[in-house]
Amino acid sequence: MPGDVQKNPVEKIPALSRQRLGDQIADVLRKQILLGELRPGSNIPERETASALGVSRTPLREALLILEVEGLVIMAPARSPIVANPSLEDLTQLLLVQSALEALAGECACEEITNDEFDHIESLHLHMLASSDISDDSLDFFSTDMAFHEAIVASTKNPPLIKTHRQYNARLWRARFMSSRRKIKRASTLRDHTNIVEGLKKRDKAQTSAALGEHLRIAITNIAGIFAREDNPE
């Protein structure tokens, strides 16, 4: 296969580093999974992947283990590790937890958020508002959406909450990306975000928390729609 970049990857691990190699590999693989370069259900054979990345199996296994604990990779005995391929039910359950986490984040954010952090979140919101009409760039809209939510969680300054939220986001990333490509839904997304920003501006715990929680529960139905459309395409 000409042009096969899998065997001679550009994203080679740099020779020296300050961080554990396994962590770096985990970052690379996680990114590849999120971007869809490693498709759900696909194999990640240890030897092949290790040599493709220019590392040995030991740190690669560390990376796979991390991703397994995070729920992005499934490892079974005597089987190649595979990229998790969550069902609609899985995604629904994940999203339910994520909605509770974000509801909590909204509550905490009202107490902990600084003015600078709020300004940043508001600017992300304004960017989405502006780009939703004029731009076709789904990826930009989507990544700003993700950054918006992550910034809110980050403003809580609660490391476990931030970490857990990030892990759930990783498992939901792909589904939410697929869902975000339905431009029809952008209006309701932006309306929800407006509520969230307003709640944050007033430091109104109840409004912020409820808006965030509700926002993600709506996302559940959107994702269900994607699944239905895949099963009965057009």
Partner DNA sequence: GACCATTATTTGGTATACCAAATACATTGA
Partner DNA sequence: TCAATGTATTTGGTATACCAAATAATGGTC
Q: How far is CA 132 from CA 10, 39, 135, 175, 199, in A?
A: 33, 28, 6, 20, 22
Please list the helix, strand and coil fractions of the chain in percent, rounded to the nearest 5, in that order: 70, 0, 25
Q: Based on CB atoms, which residue is closest to DNA, 78 or 134?
A: 78
- Asked if 199 and 108 count as a contact pair (C-beta separation under 8 A), the reply is no
Q: What is the spatial distance between Cα 60 and Cα 54, in angstroms, rounded to a whole number? A: 10
- Under rule CB under 7 A, which residues in 27-56 are in contact with DNA? 43-48, 55-56
Is residue 163 within the footprint of DNA (CB under 7 A)?
no
Is residue 16 within the footprint of DNA (CB under 7 A)?
yes
Partner interacting with residue 94 (select from its own copies, DNA, none; CB below 5-8 Å by kind) = its own copies
What one-character DSSP code corresponds to residue 11? S
Is residue 57 within the footprint of DNA (CB under 7 A)?
yes
Q: Which stretch binds its own copies (CB under 8 A): 34-42, 118-126, 157-165, 214-222?
A: 157-165
Q: What is the spatial distance between Cα 14 and Cα 80, in angstroms, rounded to a whole number? A: 26
| Per-residue binder mask for its own copies (CB under 8 A), 71-110, x = binder | x---x-x------------x--xx-xx--xx-xx---x--
Q: What is the spatial distance between Cα 149 and Cα 169, in angstroms, rounded to a whole number? A: 10
Is residue 22 within the footprint of DNA (CB under 7 A)?
yes
Q: Based on CB atoms, which residue is closest to DNA, 10 or 184?
A: 10
Q: Based on CB atoms, which residue is closest to DNA, 53 or 197?
A: 53
CB of 96 to DNA, least distance (A): 30
Beta-carbon contacts of 97 under 8 Å, excluding residues fewer than 6 positions away, are 168
Instruction: Find where tokens 């709506």 sit.
Output: 218
Q: Based on CB atoms, which residue is closest to its own copies, 23 or 37?
A: 23
CB of 151 to its own copies, least distance (A): 18
- Asked if 88 and 223 count as a contact pair (C-beta separation under 8 A), the reply is yes
Of 6, 58, 93, 194, which lies in the binding site for DNA, with binding defined by CB under 7 A?
58
Question: Where does the chain have alpha helices with state H?
Answer: 21-35, 46-53, 57-70, 88-112, 115-134, 138-154, 159-180, 186-201, 205-231
What does the binding site for its own copies look like in residue numbers (CB under 8 A)? 18-20, 22, 58, 61-62, 65-66, 69-71, 75, 77, 90, 93-94, 96-97, 100-101, 103-104, 108, 158-161, 164, 168, 171
